[in-house]
């Protein structure tokens, strides 16, 4: 395994002076060390990360992005129409979830795991896959240096376990709501509402605490929870829809808030659990720190927007969201909790089955509660 510190030293030796990215646990070690030394910008999404690197590169600083292959889709537009078009030789570190054996990873990584190499080939981006040795990193970076001299981007692919972790330091966050308690409080108010829960620990927490047929658990497609909820709310105006989002996911595709405001469905409540980090991938600092959710909600056309700092204010906001027409945005400050890892959604069954169960429950109008949350 290549240590995170060796990885960062090699970046410096290759004159990489600017990095940006979106976390993957496979690259968590270098991301943490690069952030600590001030050389890393947490980007809202992978396309933004690449555009940031492109800006720095155009302005004369050798640049790299660090992303998970699930975010390759977010990056392809600036890769093709900016980086390749303007011949910007950016270095791409892309983790390989779902590879080499998709069956050994979560199902949402299967398609991208088996196609990452091929997508890069089709786009004409050369790549090298690390084998966990320092020599493979050195070889990849010398191939990247050669590509740089030809003004071509270069991708270094990072399989599981090839780059080491760095000690995690959990910032002191003051008094915040426990994630489990927040999810339980929201589930307890759900009644016969449809719930859509975002990628990662938030879906997993909801599935573990209060599974029901009317819950749709996202496993991938990070950042699209509010758009999925909006699609359901618009096509089922007679049903209440609660979207359970994370701050990292909400900012990933923040533009969806404008679409919610534009369509303004009365039956939609969008709850954002804001822990100021990407808990699901190791608690890295995110990019939502400066967001004022209440102003954002009102500014994009939600009918109400509330920031909750404790459980009673969350419960009040949820009550109001039931009593008055929406769309409502409710943000809750929750605590990072590294020791609390909820069970995987796939413990309940296959994603196709869980999705099918949800569709049937929505169209039959029925809901069956397998578990009731305790508040
Ligand atoms: C497009 C994309 N990029 C990156 C990831 C990896 N990833 C999965 S969950 C997650 C963190 C989500 O953060 P947030 O929404 O704040 O929720 P939290 O994990 O803090 O509960 C990340 C980065 C992904 N699944 N998809």
Predicted confidence at residue 51, as pLDDT, reads 98
Residues 6 or more apart whose CB falls under 8 angstroms from that of 300 comprise 257, 258, 260, 261
Ligand 1 mutation target, pool 107, 226, 280, most atoms within 8 A of CB:
280
Q: What is the tens place of the pLDDT at every residue in 292-304?
A: 999 999 999 999 9
Phi then psi dihedrals of residue 328, to 5 deg: -110, 140
Write the burial class of residue 313 (CB in 10 Å: 0-12 exposed, 13-18 middle, 19+ buried): middle
| Ligand 1 centroid, distance to 225 Cα (angstroms) | 12
CA–CA separation, 132 vs 87, rounded Å? 30
CA–CA separation, 322 vs 137, rounded Å? 55
Predicted confidence at residue 365, as pLDDT, reads 66
Predicted confidence at residue 370, as pLDDT, reads 41
- 372 pLDDT band, cuts 50/70/90, is very low
Predicted confidence at residue 371, as pLDDT, reads 45
246 has a pLDDT exceeding 50: yes
Does the beta carbon of 23 lie inside 6 Å of ligand 1?
yes
Average pLDDT, integer, range 333-360: 92
| Ligand 1 centroid, distance to 372 Cα (angstroms) | 27
**The model scores a pTM over 0.75:** yes
* Beta carbons of 94 and 117 less than 8 angstroms apart: no
Does the beta carbon of 220 lie inside 6 Å of ligand 1?
yes
- 97 pLDDT band, cuts 50/70/90, is very high
366 has a pLDDT exceeding 90: no
- 160 pLDDT band, cuts 50/70/90, is very high
Beta bridge partners of 188: none
52 has a pLDDT exceeding 90: yes
The token pair at 145 is: 């240096």
Predicted confidence at residue 339, as pLDDT, reads 80
| Ligand 1 centroid, distance to 149 Cα (angstroms) | 34
CA–CA separation, 154 vs 145, rounded Å? 9
Predicted confidence at residue 167, as pLDDT, reads 84
CA–CA separation, 221 vs 200, rounded Å? 10
177 has a pLDDT exceeding 90: yes
CA–CA separation, 97 vs 108, rounded Å? 9
- 259 pLDDT band, cuts 50/70/90, is very high
76 has a pLDDT exceeding 60: yes
Q: Which residue has the tokens 């990056």?
A: 75
What Cα–Cα distance (Å) separates residue 268 from each residue in 22, 304, 315?
28, 11, 17
């Amino acid at each position: 395994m290549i240590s995170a510190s060796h990885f960062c030293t090699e970046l410096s030796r290759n004159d990489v002076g600017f990095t940006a990215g979106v976390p993957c646990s496979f690259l968590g070690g270098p991301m943490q060390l690069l952030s600590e030394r001030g050389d890393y910008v947490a980007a809202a999404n992978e396309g933004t990360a690449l555009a940031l690197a492109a800006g720095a590169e155009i302005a004369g600083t050798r640049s790299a992005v660090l992303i998970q292959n699930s975010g390759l889709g977010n990056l392809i537009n600036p890769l093709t129409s900016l980086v390749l078009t303007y011949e910007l030789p950016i270095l791409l570190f892309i983790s390989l979830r779902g590879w080499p054996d998709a069956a050994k990873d979560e199902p949402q990584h299967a398609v991208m795991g088996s196609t990452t190499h091929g997508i890069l080939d089709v786009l004409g981006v050369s790549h090298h896959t690390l084998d966990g040795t320092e020599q493979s990193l050195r070889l990849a970076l010398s191939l990247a240096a050669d590509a740089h001299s030809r003004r071509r981007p270069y991708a270094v692919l990072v399989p599981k376990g090839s780059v080491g972790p760095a000690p995690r330091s959990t910032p002191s966050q003051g008094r915040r709501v426990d994630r489990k308690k927040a999810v339980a409080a929201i589930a307890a108010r759900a009644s016969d509402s449809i719930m859509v829960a975002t990628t990662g620990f938030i879906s997993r927490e909801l599935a573990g605490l209060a599974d029901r047929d009317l819950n749709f658990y996202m496993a991938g497609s990070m950042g699209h929870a509010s758009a999925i909820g909006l699609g359901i709310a618009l096509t089922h105006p007679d049903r209440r829809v609660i979207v359970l989002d994370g701050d990292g996911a909400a900012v990933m595709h923040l533009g969806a808030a404008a679409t919610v405001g534009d369509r303004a469905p009365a039956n939609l409540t969008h709850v954002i659990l804001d822990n100021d980090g990407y808990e699901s991938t190791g608690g890295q600092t995110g990019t939502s720190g400066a967001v004022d959710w209440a102003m954002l909600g009102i500014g994009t056309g939600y009918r109400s927007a509330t920031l909750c700092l404790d459980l009673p204010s969350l419960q009040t906001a949820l009550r109001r969201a039931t009593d008055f027409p929406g769309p409502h945005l409710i943000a809750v400050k929750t605590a990072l909790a590294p020791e609390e890892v909820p069970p995987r959604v796939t413990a309940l069954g296959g994603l196709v089955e869980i999705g099918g169960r949800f569709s049937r429950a929505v169209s039959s109008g029925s809901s069956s509660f397998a578990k009731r949350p305790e508040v």
